[in-house]
């Protein structure tokens, strides 16, 4: 049986070699300001949808997914061709995965509910407009 597209969000890497689908809803979404997320994303934060690993299926290019042990606590997945950051996974809870919101092919329709490591949030990050 084919999945109902309304139940999923689809995503891909920059070169298109990897595509995936993630089952909705995510447990939560967050922005992480830790130094490692900022360096890997080249941005003020890494933005993620967190969900069970079983709810993510790589439909194309799974062999292109490379994982990097960025610390004893986590692994970061990316495309070995174009370098797109795809996910973060805890080594303690591998049954959960944090998919990068920036790789979604359609808009994430849930709220971003958490900000992590705000003690390292960059001072240059612009303020929200009222």
Please write the tens of the pLDDT for every residue from 48-100: 999 999 999 999 999 999 999 999 999 999 999 999 999 999 999 989 999 99
Q: Is the pTM of this model over 0.85?
A: yes
CA distance 13 to 103: 6
Averaged pLDDT score across all residues of the chain? 92
Name the CATH architecture for the domain at 5-104: Beta Complex (2.170)
Query: What strands lie across the sheet with 8-12, from one edge to the other?
Result: 8-12, 19-23, 56-60
Two tokens, residue 16: 């298109």
Residue 6 confidence class, pLDDT cut points 50, 70, 90: confident
Whether 56 contacts 65, CB under 8 Å: no
User: What is the spatial distance between Cα 85 and Cα 98, in angstroms, rounded to a whole number?
Assistant: 11
| Cβ atoms of residues 115 and 122 within 8 Å | no
pLDDT at 4 over 90: no
User: With pLDDT > 70 as the criterion, what percentage of the chain qualifies?
Assistant: 95
The SS3 call for residue 30 is: strand
Domains in the chain: boundaries: 5-104
Give the closest residue to 103 by CA, choosing from 84, 90, 116, 123.
84
Site of tokens 């993620």: 48
């Amino acid at each position: 049986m084919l999945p109902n597209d309304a139940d999923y969000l689809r995503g891909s890497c920059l070169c298109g070699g990897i595509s995936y689908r993630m089952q909705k809803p995510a447990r939560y979404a967050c922005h992480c300001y830790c130094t490692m997320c900022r360096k890997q994303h080249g941005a003020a934060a890494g933005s993620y949808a967190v969900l069970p690993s079983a709810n993510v299926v790589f439909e194309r290019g799974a062999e292109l997914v490379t994982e990097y042990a960025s610390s004893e606590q986590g692994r970061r997945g990316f495309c070995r061709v174009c370098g797109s950051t795809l996910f973060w996974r805890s080594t303690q809870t591998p049954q959960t995965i944090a998919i990068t919101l920036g790789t979604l092919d359609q808009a994430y329709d849930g709220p971003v509910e958490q900000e992590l490591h705000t003690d390292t949030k960059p001072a240059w990050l612009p303020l929200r407009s009222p």
